[in-house]
Amino acid sequence: MSRPTYETSAHVAKELSIASHFCGVFDCTYEQYPPLHPVNGKFVTGGKTVAVAEIKSRNNRSTKYPTLMLSANKWERGGQWAQAEHVPFLLIVEFTDGLFMAKMLSNYEVFVGGRHDRGDPKDIERCVYIPIDSFMRIA
């Protein structure tokens, strides 16, 4: 049995809005990858890929939690994709208090974590917890 897809057209529209905001700050363009790709898309400057990115939106302030949880599988696959492209892997997050980014590192600890609110046992998985102080506010 296949796993449900929770991404909606509203999620995609929000991701594109965040990417547009990011590109307004860094004078680049965003190219979205197809659904089910390991990361959301890439940023391009002068026809050259300059970063691959995972884009998130959170309904809380950046200071609410000491870390941001990300699927370890997404982190690993995003890192591999970025390495293949010879560019950094960025995590772009819009919190209620601003737009932030972090360059993903290769040495986060991995723990089991996830969501319990959807009743989907596959939402509990290996995760990395990225320290909030590793994020830079960009807008």
For the chain, list the domains and their CATH numbers: 9-64+72-107 (3.40.1350.10)
DSSP for 84-106 reads HHTS-EEEEEEETTEEEEEEPPS
Q: How many Å is the Cα radius of gyration of the chain? A: 15
Q: Which residue has the higher pLDDT, 111 or 133?
A: 133
User: Residue 7: pLDDT band by 50, 70, 90 thresholds?
Assistant: low
Q: Is the pLDDT of residue 106 over 90?
A: no
What pLDDT, in 10s, does the model give residues 38-64? Answer: 899 999 999 999 999 999 999 999 999
What is the SS3 assignment for 6? coil
pTM here is: 0.88
User: Between the CA of residue 30 and those of 17, 41, 44, 110, 113, what are the distances in Å?
Assistant: 10, 7, 6, 29, 30
